[in-house]
């Protein structure tokens, strides 16, 4: 299914990407788009930047829960030892 939408360029060179296109690309506020000019025309695709720290996400918690109550509980456990 083809989706065709128009956008107006402001005097500052900015555009508003139509909602249907944002949804199709899976982008939202703060995301970046890459414009590529090739022989067949211009294409637009989202820039996916994987955080270098994503592989460490959650590594420090193990199976322990987080939050204030869990921290207070853990401190009490350590004091009882």
Q: Which residues contact 7 (CB under 8 A, 6 or more apart)?
A: 15, 16, 17, 18
Question: What distance in Å separates the CA atoms of residue 81 and residue 55, rounded to the nearest whole number?
Answer: 33
Q: Which two tokens stand for residue 9?
A: 């360029």
Which domains does the chain possess? 7-48 (2.10.260.10)
pLDDT at site 62: 62
> Using one digit for the tens of pLDDT, what is the confidence trace for 7-56?
999 999 999 999 999 999 989 888 899 999 999 999 999 998 777 777 67
Question: What distance in Å separates the CA atoms of residue 70 and residue 72, rounded to the nearest whole number?
Answer: 6
Q: What percent of the chain is modeled with pLDDT above 70?
A: 83
pTM exceeding 0.85 = no
Q: Which two tokens stand for residue 65?
A: 């829960």
pLDDT at site 30: 87
> Using one digit for the tens of pLDDT, what is the confidence trace for 43-81?
999 998 777 777 677 666 666 666 788 888 888 888 887
């Amino acid at each position: 299914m083809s989706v065709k939408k128009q956008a107006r360029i402001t005097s500052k060179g900015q555009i508003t990407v139509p909602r249907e296109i944002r949804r199709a690309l899976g982008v939202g506020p703060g995301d970046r788009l890459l414009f590529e000019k090739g022989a067949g025309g211009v294409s637009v695709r989202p820039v996916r930047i994987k955080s270098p720290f994503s592989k460490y996400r959650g590594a420090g918690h193990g199976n322990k829960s987080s939050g204030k109550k869990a921290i207070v509980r853990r401190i009490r456990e350590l004091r009882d030892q």
